Structure 1
Amino acid sequence: MNAPLLSPQMTRRRLLVSALAAAGCMSLPLENAWAQAASKGGAANLAMIGELQSLDPMATPTDLVGTVMQHVYEPLYTFDAQWNIQPMLADTLPAISADGKTYTITLRKGVKFHNGKDMGADDVVASLQRWMAVSARGKAVGQVVAGIAAQGPATVEIQLKTIYAPLLAHLAMPSGMAGIMPRESIATPLVDIIGTGPYKLKERKPDQYTVLARFDQYAARTEPASGYAGKREALLDELRFVPVPNATTRLEGMLAGQFHYADLLQVESMGRLEKAGPEVVPILTKNFGFPYIVFNTRKGVLSNQAVRQAVQTAMGEAEMLQAGFGDERFYSAGPNFFPQGTPYYSEAGADRYNQKNPTLAKEQAAKAGYKGEPIRIMVSRQYEFHYNMALVMAEHFKRAGFKTDLMVVDWATLVQRRNDPDLWDIYVTHSGQFPEPMLSPPQLGEGAPGWWETDTKKAALAAFNSEPDIAKRGPLWGKVQELVYREVPFVEVGRFNGLSARAATLHGYTPAIWPFFWNTSLGK
């Protein structure tokens, strides 16, 4: 991290930041690919998995929106290549009071919005207040925030009701981002898309493209680029994000030279990419994330915890991973939510993982009062591994006597429908693998689809989130993991690596969970 913190009142700050640094063995697989002599110009065609659900960085926690809009909006803090928290729009890491409840944030000077206005403390306060009202992540943070106020034109103070160790990590996340926007542009829904990022919105045609253009007045940081942190430069004139829902179509377009980048390809594509010649470069993003299965705990057949436990007994996560990824280079099965060697590794609940026991599941379901109601499984083929895992999961359920209704929809529809508890019982999704447990999945927060809200959850998370000492947080996370296995709000299937591809002419790209294209250029 940075230089040692000298003042006694900053001790808690060091503890909070070191909690993330200690998870460095899960570090972003990002190399410093800063191209010192890269020339400006050109437009990159970027094939993404689907249509953006929104241009509002706060409106949805989906990775696709975070990936695109992180070029337009920026947060106060971000992550470097080792997952350490670093300042972005903030000038430095915050000063934290001795009791751990007051964060004083000094803002960078000279940062301009895309409308030419200078960013100030009032904009930051209004943006964070909107984030806490609109974003699922922000709402969770808002539960512990006593107040946010400007202390002069370039200083913001956040007062907490209690110590909250994950605060800076939440403020740094690209998905459901606490992006800073001009105070006067704030509205719900958001109409004026104005941020501080290296690119600004130029044009959007739904289902065709979203085009971002270089912001010539962008105020870059001076530190060397590292992960999402440090110097960002818009070397390309335009970024053209093209929705291509079919993975095969993304692959064929990549091989044909239609795209400079193709996101999230099927693992079966690796062979063709390796044989494509020097014009195409496969990208294996390690520790990319984990697929997980979300249960509707509010309404329907799975609102009964005992039925959810029976369904969990029927599942065979290892077979689901095999169906989703095939090649063992791309996945690993295991009950632990975090890899061995990290502060949050735990085997709590391991006996409930990968049981694949239809006989016991049928007995449990009968005792729980299951009467043959269909379990509605909502899934999208835009992430083909979601669909393949869902097919195997449905077969496991059928063997245990459960009826299933597989509802295949496009990703945008799934994201919309999952907010209505009357429309589904299970949906399939995935998340990036982060060093702070409270960053994902959203179901650990409040209000996320699935609506897991129990007193036991609140007590376990309160104990975990109020402890800044990483050595003590680890065992407390084990209790949370055990609770997830017992109450079954979701099932974490395992871990996987991501496969994408780029053209050899796209220089400066570094693999990332949320791909970014500042510091990239086009050449021979």
Structure 2
Amino acid sequence: MSCASALALAMVVSGHAQAQTEIDVAMIGEPDTFDPMVSTKDVVSIVTQHFVETLFTFDDNWATVPLLAAAMPDVSDDGLTYVIPIREGVTFHDGSTMDSADVVGSLERWLKVASRGKSVAAYVDSVEATGDYEVTIKLNQPYAPLLSLLAFSNSAAVVYPEEILADHIDNVVGTGPYEIADYVPDQYIQLVRFDGYTQPTGAAERKQIPDEIRFVPVADPNTRVEGLLSGQFDFADSLPTESYGRLESSDVAEPLLLEPFGWPVFAMNRNKGMMTNIEIRKAVQAALPFDDMLYAAFGDEKFYQVDGAMYPEGWVWNNDGGVELYNQNDIEAAAEHLEKAGYDGTPLRILTSRQYEFHYQMALVAKAALEAAGFKVQMDVVDWATLAERRNNPDLWDIYITHSPFLPEPALISSFSAKALEGWDEPVKNEIFARFNTETDPEARKAAFKELQTELYEDVGFIKVGNFNSLQGKSRALEGVSASPWPKFWNASTSE
């Protein structure tokens, strides 16, 4: 081989070795904000976890571990004081260095603007910098779920430079392994590796393998499937269950089944309108045929379980409180509740979206059952971004359909909070929930949660439809990504 040919070959080999690695991810929609402190939406969490970080996070077993914290906190014997060491040498994407002032300012903002932060605020006396790299949180009574709330990635207690802190942040500056390079609305969000990233000491390594991660909003679920099967996408979220067989038999893609994933929920507007009447709520609860709704949504029992407990069997929080009121499927009882309520024929407005197709299919079955019981039902079918906007206005809906993963700490279920969008502000529930959150004995907390689940059914705070398994899909060449409610791509690689 001539020297020129050898040089050319070496250049080709070198070019392949240095080729840019891009991971393309199909999502159900795009975030309406890049500030996860003010949002509980999964699409926000999935994207933003790559460029903003919290003091703590969860490991693969849902244990809380340090992320921006240097270690787990030193907690006083009375449970009222948390001294948190902060990692040194952490750089924000604007080049500034994180210190305790940034953490204090960010936590104070979280307590003020985040739905989960607001639920904690009444228990917090102060957040203070007690050193350049130490923060102390003082409580007025014990609050067992504090660390779980500080670790969660939606309505998240992320840390920003104190200079950008405001009620509304337009340009988010984080510490994460990736940063935003480009954003074209309705087309893509492009993240690139942040070269100044320093690895956490407690959380698993964030290897920053891809050069780029591109999130693409694809509203139609079948288009997400076809894009995955064609090789256009490396990963696709929230796929219809009927695509499982095609993915399983494909040479290009494969299914990822997250089992059990979570629970669909009919969220009820307790702030305004007909759902403030308990007899109306009981009529809805009595009428809904959950087995039929789950079958319509998922088709195969591989993907769902008819189960009224808030947590599945095998979870520490599983109990049978109130479940005798689950899946009544009793049209006559529903009609009796409507008569007691003095129902006047006002349309029951159900807000849903087809971007999560299973939401829509459940709504169709629910509509038929509710109409059989005597309701007039108005289905408002919108895109997910519009739904997320409308649910903030209690004048626009009576029920909206959403879902939640099974979370390690029940206090993370935002619907239990009186400050959540639904507005379930009821004295009996509030007392039980407060007692659950301030109790530190594990057995006493389990007993309190059973009371809370019982009150959920008796007061019809919201309606759990059942359990379901989530179908995602990935390229067979993609490695380093597993099924997750909030899939992460910093360790992703392709074998091609």
Q: TM (normalized to structure 2)?
A: 0.95
Post-superposition offset of 1:117: 1.2
Q: Pick from 123, 138, 145 the counterpart of residue 117 of structure 2.
A: 138
Question: Helix, strand or coil for the counterpart of 2:291?
Answer: helix
Q: Quick one: which amino acid aligns to residue 411 of structure 2?
A: M
CA distance in structure 2 between the partners assigned to 1:119 and 1:40 by the alignment: 33
Post-superposition offset of 1:496: 1.1
Question: 1:30 maps to what in 2?
Answer: none
Deviations 1:231-258, CA, capped at 9 Å, x for gaps: 1121111111000011001011111111
Deviations 1:104-132, CA, capped at 9 Å, x for gaps: 10011111111111110000011111111
Q: Does 1:311 align with 2:284?
A: yes
Question: 1:487 maps to what in 2?
Answer: 459
Question: 1:233 maps to what in 2?
Answer: 207
Post-superposition offset of 1:84: 0.7
CA distance in structure 1 between the partners assigned to 2:398 and 2:264 by the alignment: 17
CA distance in structure 2 between the partners assigned to 1:260 and 1:125 by the alignment: 39
Question: Helix, strand or coil for the counterpart of 1:68?
Answer: helix
CA distance in structure 2 between the partners assigned to 1:380 and 1:143 by the alignment: 35
Question: 1:264 maps to what in 2?
Answer: 238
Question: Helix, strand or coil for the counterpart of 1:151?
Answer: strand
Distance 1:180 1:40, change over 3 A: farther
Q: Which has the higher contact order (CA 8 A, sep 6+)?
A: 1
Question: 2:188 maps to what in 1?
Answer: 209
Q: Does 1:95 align with 2:74?
A: yes
Question: 2:387 maps to what in 1?
Answer: 414
Question: Helix, strand or coil for the counterpart of 1:500?
Answer: strand
CA distance in structure 1 between the partners assigned to 2:92 and 2:207 by the alignment: 16
Question: Helix, strand or coil for the counterpart of 2:112?
Answer: helix
CA distance in structure 1 between the partners assigned to 2:388 and 2:91 by the alignment: 33
Post-superposition offset of 1:291: 0.6
Question: 1:470 maps to what in 2?
Answer: 442
Post-superposition offset of 1:343: 2.2
Question: 2:65 maps to what in 1?
Answer: 86
Q: Pick from 317, 334, 347 the counterpart of residue 361 of structure 1.
A: 334
Deviations 1:5-50, CA, capped at 9 Å, x for gaps: xxxxxxxxxxxxxxxxxxxxxxxxxxxxxxxxx9984111110001
Post-superposition offset of 1:399: 1.1
Question: 2:478 maps to what in 1?
Answer: 506
Question: 2:225 maps to what in 1?
Answer: 251
CA distance in structure 1 between the partners assigned to 2:72 and 2:306 by the alignment: 37
Post-superposition offset of 1:341: 3.1
Q: Does 1:153 align with 2:126?
A: no
- Confirm or deny: 8 A CA contact 1:41 1:521 kept in the other structure: no
Identify which range, 185-194 or 52-61, moves more after superposition.
185-194
Deviations 1:272-325, CA, capped at 9 Å, x for gaps: 111212x21211112211111101112111111121011111111121111111
Matches within 5 A, 1:371-382: 371-382=344-355
CA distance in structure 2 between the partners assigned to 1:364 and 1:446 by the alignment: 25
Post-superposition offset of 1:192: 2.1
Matches within 5 A, 1:45-444: 45-222=24-201, 229-277=203-251, 279-440=252-413, 442-444=414-416
Q: Quick one: which amino acid aligns to residue 497 of structure 1?
A: N
Q: Quick one: which amino acid aligns to residue 140 of structure 2?
A: K
CA distance in structure 1 between the partners assigned to 2:474 and 2:70 by the alignment: 34
Question: How many pairs were matched up?
Answer: 480
CA distance in structure 2 between the partners assigned to 1:342 and 1:468 by the alignment: 18
- Confirm or deny: 8 A CA contact 1:382 1:411 kept in the other structure: yes
Unaligned runs of 5+ in 2: 1-16
Higher Cα radius of gyration:
2
Question: Helix, strand or coil for the counterpart of 2:360?
Answer: helix
Question: Helix, strand or coil for the counterpart of 2:38?
Answer: coil
CA distance in structure 1 between the partners assigned to 2:57 and 2:50 by the alignment: 13
- Confirm or deny: 8 A CA contact 2:70 2:201 kept in the other structure: no
CA distance in structure 1 between the partners assigned to 2:196 and 2:467 by the alignment: 41
Question: 1:452 maps to what in 2?
Answer: 424
- Confirm or deny: 8 A CA contact 2:93 2:175 kept in the other structure: yes
CA distance in structure 2 between the partners assigned to 1:230 and 1:246 by the alignment: 34
Q: Quick one: which amino acid aligns to residue 503 of structure 1?
A: S
Deviations 1:501-524, CA, capped at 9 Å, x for gaps: 111222211221101101112232
- Confirm or deny: 8 A CA contact 1:146 1:159 kept in the other structure: yes
Return structure 1 stretches of 4+ with deviation > 6 angstroms. none
- Confirm or deny: 8 A CA contact 1:41 1:235 kept in the other structure: no
Unaligned runs of 5+ in 1: 1-37, 224-228
- Confirm or deny: 8 A CA contact 1:76 1:172 kept in the other structure: yes
CA distance in structure 2 between the partners assigned to 1:121 and 1:41 by the alignment: 36
- Confirm or deny: 8 A CA contact 1:74 1:89 kept in the other structure: yes
CA distance in structure 2 between the partners assigned to 1:137 and 1:203 by the alignment: 30
Question: Helix, strand or coil for the counterpart of 2:36?
Answer: coil
Deviations 1:153-198, CA, capped at 9 Å, x for gaps: 1000111121110100011111111111111111232122210100
Deviations 1:199-249, CA, capped at 9 Å, x for gaps: 0111111111111110011001256xxxxx311121111111000011001
Question: Helix, strand or coil for the counterpart of 2:195?
Answer: coil
Identify which range, 487-496 or 410-419, moves more after superposition.
487-496
